[in-house]
Chains A and B, each alone.
Chain A
Amino acid sequence: MNLKSHFPIFDTHPELVYLDSAATTQKPRNVIKAITDFYESSYSNVSRGMYKLSTDATQKLRDCRQKVATLIGAESSQDIAFTYGATDAINKVAYGYFKPKLTAGHNIIVTTMEHHANLLPWQKLCKESDTELRVVRLLANGNLDLEHLVELMNEHTMLVAVTHISNVLGIVNPIEQINKLAHEKDIPVIIDAAQSISTHTLNAIDLDIDFLVFSGHKMFAPTGIGALYVNPKYQAAFDPHFVGGGMIESASFFETVYQDYPQVLEPGTPNIAGVFGLGAAIDFMDDHSIYSQYDRLELLTQDLRSSLSNYDRIQVLGDSTNSMNIVSFEIEGIHPHDIAYFLAGKNICIRAGHHCAEPLLNSLEISAVARVSLSVYNEHRDIELLLEALKACINYFE
């Protein structure tokens, strides 16, 4: 089944070879339609209206919350807070949950491969709270050094923050094992599922997840919408960082009683169209059994890695035996930006730079890499075109 036909961008640009889905995925027709339909024929604000347009929108927002809950195997739709994306969700957890709890002597553990989104909030919080930031090393093959993680955890550890899939290395981290290791010491874990939400079936209950975040735009939904899952055992302790309308039990001039999670994290008018787009993206993923594409994409990733490794001058990052959808590489003597620009001239979209993981690149002693990333609309032909173009690129800059 050709999923490409569901993405109108490829009708507009039939020649397009889109290999930048780790930055953001293209949007299927039903998602675009859900958004335009809302604005064209059912637009209104939610929660506060008595009229049908508003009550319908309110109900639909509720339905979308349930869809997210079902997608990640949460017990209840009330375990899901809508956010503006993964970055927003992590900051909400950092400032809403952890900030009031941290004091000098505590520590927070991150890993070498975190995106800035799952590093900077913890780094900033640690500085503000006199808390130590600890960083899990990588093994030579790029995987997390779990023994080091165990060494770093102690009775003062307040959190382990880890990405499910590295947005640079494509390495898939063993989140179930990490959860187990941390939970043995009663330490909660936040999982950044930004890159894995479109590839991995996640079950919050089976995996015993504490906090999980992702962005809609990397799973076929629009930008500006994301979600946060919080395990019920942590929900009562949120002290909101942002406050305003739509989140209160009662308010007077000098005191406010907030609603429970998730409303306590959702002040102000939500991104309603974004929520509906996210709901439509989940429908798309269900209707086309997106998670069953896993094996095909894993093979495609491996194929890409091994083809690139065949070139003398190309150095592929990461672990060839543990890699999903994302392949970063360097070509000796050609800067990643020049590679990306050369490919752009051939309608091939890849990304170059430090990919918001500067500490990771520094630890690997590189300043920038070229990154190819795949999604369900990619086919073997895209890889062939990429390889052909890379050959031409190497010749051009010779």
Chain B
Amino acid sequence: MESDYLDLYHPRILELDKHPYHFKKCVEEPILIANNPFCGDRFKLFDKSPNKDYAALFFYGHGCAVSKASTSLLVELFEQKGLTGIRELADQFAKFIYKETDHCAEDKLLIFENVRNHPSRLDCALLGWNELLKKLH
């Protein structure tokens, strides 16, 4: 039973929990607030790029290891792919997490493969991604 639970935590998830990418409190207005009212997880995304083109993104807040790691990757991949690219990926990643497809379009997100078998943690993996799909156009 124990290993079933703990296979959720890919070593890279634990690493990102401790050392997330661009994790910093910012003074700017957040471009996105990802909030899970059931558990209190809450991350804010900030765009610090001069042209506001998502080239320098940061995030800050509280969340579990899974939501923090996944938001960290969201920020990193968002910078690389821009808005259109990240929206496409978010859509595809949600389908992957909900087991609507077994194809994961981005290798870095494969660390969340086991999350798919933990129904109570799907929202953790998708916290920032789902908010992005709803709010950023």
Contact yes or no, B40 A358, CB < 8 A: yes
- Please tell me if A341 contacts chain B, counting CB pairs below 8 Å: yes
- Please tell me if A148 contacts chain B, counting CB pairs below 8 Å: no
Chain B residues with Cβ below 8 Å from A346 are: 1-2
CB within 8 Å for A345 and B4 given contacts A335-B64, A338-B64: yes
Q: Provide the bound-state CA to CA distance between A368 and B67, in Å.
A: 14
CB within 8 Å for A397 and B39 given contacts A341-B5, A347-B1, A368-B62: no
Chain A residues with Cβ below 8 Å from B42 are: 367
Closest chain B residue, CB of each to CB of A337: B64
What is the distance, in angstroms, from B120's C-beta to the closest C-beta of chain A?
Answer: 8
Contact yes or no, A345 B6, CB < 8 A: yes
What is the distance, in angstroms, from A83's C-beta to the closest C-beta of chain B?
Answer: 25
Of B4, B6, B41, B121, the contact of A367 (CB 8 Å cutoff): B41
- Please tell me if A149 contacts chain B, counting CB pairs below 8 Å: no
Contact yes or no, B5 A353, CB < 8 A: no
Contact yes or no, A367 B62, CB < 8 A: yes
Q: Provide the bound-state CA to CA distance between A205 and B3, in Å.
A: 54
Closest chain A residue, CB of each to CB of B62: A367
* Total A-B Cβ pairs within 8 A: 53
CB within 8 Å for A368 and B41 given contacts A335-B62, A335-B64, A338-B65: yes
- Please tell me if B128 contacts chain A, counting CB pairs below 8 Å: no
- Please tell me if B97 contacts chain A, counting CB pairs below 8 Å: no
Interface residues of A, count at CB 8 A:
20
Chain A residues with Cβ below 8 Å from B105 are: none
- Please tell me if A227 contacts chain B, counting CB pairs below 8 Å: no
What is the distance, in angstroms, from A370's C-beta to the closest C-beta of chain B?
Answer: 11
Interface residues of B, count at CB 8 A:
24
- Please tell me if A354 contacts chain B, counting CB pairs below 8 Å: yes
Chain A residues with Cβ below 8 Å from B121 are: 341
Q: Provide the bound-state CA to CA distance between A346 and B6, in Å.
A: 10
Contact yes or no, A337 B124, CB < 8 A: yes
Closest chain B residue, CB of each to CB of A353: B39
Contact yes or no, B39 A352, CB < 8 A: yes
Bitwise interface map of A from 86 to 122 toward B, beta carbon under 8 Å scored 1, else 0:
0000000000000000000000000000000000000
Closest chain B residue, CB of each to CB of A368: B40
Contact yes or no, B1 A345, CB < 8 A: yes
Chain B residues with Cβ below 8 Å from A353 are: 38-40
What is the distance, in angstroms, from A151's C-beta to the closest C-beta of chain B?
Answer: 31
Of A338, A345, A361, A397, the contact of B40 (CB 8 Å cutoff): A361
What is the distance, in angstroms, from B112's C-beta to the closest C-beta of chain A?
Answer: 15
23 CB < 8 A contacts A-B: A335-B17, A335-B64, A335-B65, A336-B64, A337-B39, A337-B41, A337-B64, A337-B124, A338-B9, A338-B64, A342-B5, A342-B6, A345-B2, A346-B1, A346-B2, A353-B39, A354-B40, A358-B40, A367-B41, A367-B42, A367-B62, A368-B40, A396-B9
Q: List 10 additional contacts besides A335-B17, A346-B1, A352-B39; criterion CB under 8 Å.
A: A336-B64, A337-B124, A338-B66, A341-B8, A345-B5, A345-B6, A346-B2, A368-B39, A368-B41, A368-B62
Which A residues form the contact surface with B (CB < 8 A)? 333, 335-338, 341-342, 344-347, 352-354, 358, 361, 367-368, 396-397
